[in-house]
Chains A and B, each alone.
Chain A
Amino acid sequence: DVKVTQSSRYLVKRTGEKVFLECVQDMDHENMFWYRQDPGLGLRLIYFSYDVKMKEKGDIPEGYSVSREKKERFSLILESASTNQTSMYLCASSLSGQGLTDTQYFGPGTRLTVL
């Protein structure tokens, strides 16, 4: 069974703080993704990575950065948290198959509140 874990289920931070969200997968997947999910807006891709040390911007990368130093770990960094970054953050991973997109498996999510 694929397992994707996230470092925290709930997190409360103050405006201006630096925030690290960690994601680890145990299935040797090449691809990892960070999304945020907001009511009425659905899931939106922030960043993804298809290999160690590689990263690509998603649809809403502003205010975020990422780090992928090891294959199993993908970190999302909020350099200076703002209240509009209050959201549910979901990490996902997928295997790079030959050709078509493989299923993405999600972690349980981190609900971040920025005060």
Chain B
Amino acid sequence: RKEVEQDPGPFNVPEGATVAFNCTYSNSASQSFFWYRQDCRKEPKLLMSVYSSGNEDGRFTAQLNRASQYISLLIRDSKLSDSATYLCVVNNGGDSGAGSYQLTFGKGTKLSVIP
């Protein structure tokens, strides 16, 4: 069974804080990795893809450790608008075929940024 595990939180942090989320996945054949953000009562939206070398987008940094099957998301200088649930997402394996189209979603980590 393909699993993606996340700490459900909630993480309650003050504005300006740095917060890190971690995620582990069980399927060693996974090739694509993402962080999605879901606001309350809204649909998930892509926050960023995660690349092997690590990547940064403004205040957000994502890291991937294939050997440990571990993904992280770091948010610096937290804003009130960062309050949401963050979903760790991996594809079901391979770089072609039906498995590559499917994604497995973690249950999400809830973040509340407080004034």
- Please tell me which stretch of A12-20, A43-51, A60-68, A72-80 contacts chain B, meaning at least 4 of its Cβ atoms lie within 8 angstroms of it: A43-51
A100 and B91 contact, CB distance less than 8 A = yes
Contacts of A50 in B (CB 8 A): 98, 101
Overall SS of chain A's interface = loop
Which residue of chain A has the shortest Cβ distance to B85 in the bound complex? A42
- Contacts A/B (CB < 8 Å), 25 sampled: A33-B102, A42-B108, A43-B87, A45-B102, A45-B103, A48-B101, A50-B98, A50-B101, A56-B98, A58-B102, A90-B43, A94-B101, A96-B101, A100-B32, A100-B95, A100-B100, A103-B34, A103-B46, A103-B49, A104-B46, A106-B43, A106-B45, A108-B42, A108-B43, A109-B42
B21 within 8 A of partner (CB): no
B106 contact from A31, A42, A104, A108, Cβ within 8 A: A42
B101 and A101 contact, CB distance less than 8 A = yes
Q: How far is the CA of A109 from the CA of B101 in the complex (A)?
A: 20
> Given A100-B32, A103-B46, is A42 in contact with B101 using a C-beta cutoff of 8 Å?
no
Q: How far is the CA of A59 from the CA of B96 in the complex (A)?
A: 19
> Given A99-B95, A100-B31, A100-B32, is A43 in contact with B102 using a C-beta cutoff of 8 Å?
no
- Chain B interface size band reads 20 to 34
B54 within 8 A of partner (CB): no
B76 within 8 A of partner (CB): no
- The interface of chain B, by Cβ under 8 A from chain A, is 31-32, 34, 42-46, 49, 87, 91, 95-96, 98, 100-103, 105-108
Contacts of A104 in B (CB 8 A): 46, 103
Candidate in B32, B43, B87 with the most chain A CB atoms within 10 angstroms: B43
Give the 5 A-B residue pairs with the shortest CB-CB distance, closest first.
Answer: A42-B107, A106-B43, A101-B91, A101-B32, A43-B105
